[in-house]
Every structure is written in structure tokens, then in C-alpha cells.
Amino acid sequence: MANPTPDESGTAGVRTDAVDYMTDTRPIASEPAAPGCRKRDPILVAKNVTRAFGGINAVDVEYLEVPRHKITALIGPNGAGKTTFFNLLTGFDQPNSGEWTFDGTSLHGVPSYKVSRMGMVRTFQLTKVMGKLKVIENMRLGATRQEGEKLSKALFKNIWGGREREITRHADGLLEKFKLDTKREDYAASLSGGQRKLLEMARALMADPKLVMLDEPMAGVNPALTQSLLDHVRNLKSEGMTVLFVEHDMHMVRNIADWVVVMAEGRIVAEGPPAEVMKDQAVIDAYLGAHHDVDLGAAEGIEVLEHQLAQDKESVVGTADEGILGHGITEQDGRDPDEGRDRKDAP
């Protein structure tokens, strides 16, 4: 893992100045933390971005600034609109309204492939690696500025050969970092789910992006691989990149996020450093899972959890839609003597 020295150009083409991004303690926001607060150094600014599906607003973001050189987590309950927001920002979907800029350039109406060329890359929830190409070819595909990709130059290897060698060196370096170098010549289809996630992330880095947007990078990844993925994401910051990621895994968020943005029902409901946001009662209640401390296997565990969920706005427990859930807490009399017993101790 490289630590940039003050006179070494960062891989993102960004001069590292004398600032070490990992230990920079300057405040992230230029005003008190609140939804839509301004940042000292924003890389992405979004205003009034909306997207409706059949009358329902899937995304309704009034104002958001994403801080440069920081790792920002975008969290929220299912259906909050996080992935839709991602798609809008990166040109994979068209908004009903809104404007947003990346490094000062407006991205409204810019097609997805151009957004990517400008330095804003993304990964997908369901990994999109090319199974029928070898791992190294997948990596080479991620590179930019390869003249050989133009039809006019493709026939002449002497034109694009040099850049191809550079690209291959870069790819091999990344593959080694992500511990995929032994899989270099394998077809990507033979990789496991977690390895494909790593490959997709490594491939996204081939473009030396300024902003890396990860859509649920931990989803479906073996917990043993989680730590190494976390380290890779942290490493992006040390190399001068900005990271915005969507996640459900609170451990990951607590572990590496510098800033947290909470979305619910398409809107931003909270913003701030992880410690503060996680203390926000509304956010906690909304879904941060104070419930996960309840042990379902313990004697009254089920009832305790159902009771807690009944207080929870997101849960159907306690509402008309609860179905078979929650009946344990409403019945007090004539209860089945087996109910409530720790059934795991049964012979």
C-alpha cells in the first residue's frame, strides 16, 4: 500500500501537496452538520434532483455536496432510493428534474460513458465482470486513453502497442494489490462472487478516477474477505481519490466512513460524521438496528425483538400488515405453555 510522499505525483494525477489525506483533520463541512450542509471542498454538488416512478418519488434530493478526498457512506433503509440516486448521478438513468456538477462541470444530460471518462466511475450491485474474457482482459478494458480502441488506429499495433504495455503493467500492479494476480489468465466466469467484486473494483481503478462510487461493495462477500476489501477502499483515499459508497453493513460504515449521508424515502434525512449520525435517534430507530443486539435464541428474545420492532417505523410489526409477526406480544392470556420457552434447549 503506497503512502504518497510530498513530491510524488499521486496516481490520480492529483498533486498530493503536503497533505496526507489519511490524517487530514480539517473539518469536512463548512457549516454545522445537517442534511444539505455545504462542504469545505466539494467534488460533487447536486441540486433538486428528482426521479419519480409512476407518481412515487423514488429520489427527491434537495441539496447534497460530497466532500473531496473523503470516504462518504450513503446509507438508508431498502427502497430509500440510494441506487436510483447513483444511477442518476452517473448517467445510467434520467432524472425528472435537477442539476448536478462534478468538479464544476455540469453532468445533466451527459451519457454514462462520458461521465466515466470525466473521472467518475462506479461499480454495480450485481457485479458486471465479463465472464467470457480473461481477468487480465477485463482489466485492460477498464483503461482509458488507449488509441487502439479507435477503429482508425486499431489495425496498427505499432501505434497502440506501447500504451497497451503500460496498461498491462498498471493492470498487473492492481491485480497484485487485490490478490488476483494468480487468476490473471483465467476466464472471469470462473471467479467466485467475492473475487468478482474485487475484480470489478480493480477494473474501475484502471481509469485513475477522481471519484469512485461503489454500490454495495460488501454485498455477498465472504466475511473473511471483508477486511481486505475495507483496506482497499481505505487505500483509495490515501491515493487521493474520493469515495462514495452505498452500504447496509454498519460495521463497514463505522470502520471507514469519514462522512455519512442517510437517505429515507428518497430524501436525505441526516448527514454528519459516523459517530454523530449513529447517535441520532431518528436514524437509529429508522434502521440502524439497535435490534441486532437482541438475541433471538434467548428465552424471551423473540418477544423482545417483536416489541422493539413494533416501535420501529420501518417495520410492519404492530401495523395491520404484520401478518404472522408480533402476535406473541398481543396475547397475554391462554398462551401456549411452550411459547416463550427457550426451544433450543429441547431434547
Partner 1 sequence: MDFLNILSGALGEIISPTTAAYALAALGLALHFGYTGLLNFGQAGFMAMGAYGFAIATLTFNAPFWAAVLVALACSVAFAFLLGIPTLRLRADYLSIVTIAAAEVIRYIVTTNQLTDITGSAGGLNGFAGGFYALNPFPEGTYNLGFITLSARDLWVRVVAWSVVAVCCFIVWLLVRSPWGRVLKGIREDENAVRSLGKNVYSYKMQALIIGGVFGSLAGILFTLPRSSVQPANYGTELTFFLWTCLLLGGAATVLGPVVGAMLFWVVLSLTQGLLYGAIGAGYITFISIPQAGQLRYIMVGVALMLLMIFRPQGLLGNKKELVYS
Partner 2 sequence: MSQQTPEGGNAVVTVTDLVAGYLPGVNILNGCSIEARPGELIGIIGPNGAGKSTLLKAMFGLVKIHSGKVVVRGRDITGLKANKLVSQGIGFVPQTNNVFATLTIEENMQMGMFQRPKDFKERFDFVTGIFPELGKRRQQRAGSLSGGERQMVAMGRALMMDPAVLLLDEPSAGLSPVKQDETFLRVHEINRAGVSVIMVEQNARRCLQICDRAYVLDQGRDAYTGTGRELLKDPKVIQLYLGTLAESA
Answer for the pair 262, 231: CB distance below 8 angstroms, yes or no. Answer: no
Residue 161 burial class via C-beta count within 10 angstroms: exposed 0-12, middle 13-18, buried 19 and up: exposed
The conformation of residue 10, written as its DSSP 8-state character, comes to P
User: Closer CB to partner 1, residue 140 or residue 232?
Assistant: 140
Strand runs (DSSP E) across the chain, as ranges? 42-53, 56-67, 71-75, 97-102, 105-106, 120-122, 211-215, 242-246, 259-264, 267-272
The secondary structure of 12-71 as a DSSP string is TS-B-TT--TTT--S-SBSS-S-TT--BSSEEEEEEEEEEEETTEEEEEEEEEEEETTSE
Q: Counting contacts by CB under 8 A, is residue 300 touching partner 2?
A: no
Site for partner 2 in 56-85 (CB under 8 A): 77-79
Shortest approach of partner 1 to residue 83 CB, angstroms?
13
User: Closer CB to partner 2, residue 12 or residue 305?
Assistant: 305
Among 40, 117, 248, 267, binds partner 2 (CB under 8 A): 248
- The CA-atom distances, in angstroms, between 288 and each of 36, 147, 194, 284, 314 are 21, 48, 25, 5, 11
Q: Could you tell which of partner 1, partner 2, none binds residue 77, using a CB distance below 5 to 8 A set by kind?
A: partner 2
User: Closer CB to partner 1, residue 21 or residue 160?
Assistant: 160
Nearest to 263 by CA among 68, 57, 70: 57
Rounded Cα distance between 273 and 11, Å, is 27
Q: Could you tell which of partner 2, partner 1, none binds residue 55, using a CB distance below 5 to 8 A set by kind?
A: none
Among 18, 151, 155, 224, binds partner 2 (CB under 8 A): 224
Q: Could you tell which of partner 1, partner 2, none binds residue 54, using a CB distance below 5 to 8 A set by kind?
A: partner 2
C-alpha cell of residue 212: 469512485
Q: Counting contacts by CB under 8 A, is residue 10 touching partner 2?
A: no
User: Closer CB to partner 2, residue 141 or residue 284?
Assistant: 284
Q: Could you tell which of partner 2, partner 1, none binds residue 132, using a CB distance below 5 to 8 A set by kind?
A: partner 1
Nearest to 47 by CA among 92, 82, 97: 97
How many residues are recorded in the chain?
Answer: 347
Instruction: Tell me which residues touch partner 1 (CB under 8 A).
Output: 90, 92, 111-114, 116-117, 121-124, 128-133, 137, 140-142, 144, 146, 148-151, 154-155, 157, 160, 164, 187, 189, 203-204, 207
Shortest approach of partner 2 to residue 11 CB, angstroms?
28
Shortest approach of partner 2 to residue 84 CB, angstroms?
11
Euclidean distance between the first and the last CA atom of the chain, given in angstroms as a whole number: 53
Rule CB under 8 A: which residues touch partner 2?
53-54, 77-79, 126, 192-194, 216, 219-227, 248, 250-251, 254, 287-289, 291-292, 295-297, 301-302, 305-306, 309, 312, 314-317, 320-325, 343-344, 346-347
